[in-house]
Structure 1
Amino acid sequence: FAVASNSHGTVAMGINVSISYLKAVKAGPLFAEAKEVSINPKLATYDIKVIDDGNNLVATFQGMVYRKKEALDI
């Protein structure tokens, strides 16, 4: 979520998130994919899916950010 929302070169701060845990996970790798659903000069929304190494959906995450005009210091 942080990487996706800050990938445009300006500071983005999370203002609302919702996480649904769908399945218990034991030790092992997890993979997350973020999709930008909507973006405008001040707000952006993202859907994130989290899967385990067996490609099972284990969590979903929706997030909204406030996009500042301040450039990221990379």
Structure 2
Amino acid sequence: MRASLVSFPLGRNVGEYGPPNAGGWAETQTATYETAWRAWRDLARDTQAAVTEYAKEQGVPRHEAEQDVKTKARGGA
């Protein structure tokens, strides 16, 4: 299915969004996109730091701590 054919609320199509180079964007769309990416990067950085700290506190390898967090975030035991 082509992305431009997928409908979103308010009559918007996926084709209106995406990376800035996907088409001509209005200034507000570009600003919204950049703000969302900045927030995502900040949250990802903070999450990575928290997982590393948790692993050190628990005395377990980081990859095990990350798997534990993923399991619990997905509602696992």
Q: TM-score range by the shorter chain?
A: under 0.3
Normalized per residue, the structure richer in strand is 1
Q: TM-score, normalised by structure 1?
A: 0.24
In our comparison, the structure showing a higher alpha carbon Rg is 2
Normalized per residue, the structure richer in helix is 2
Query: Could you say which structure has the greater relative contact order, defined with CA pairs below 8 angstroms and 6 or more residues apart?
Result: 1
Q: TM-score, normalised by structure 2?
A: 0.23
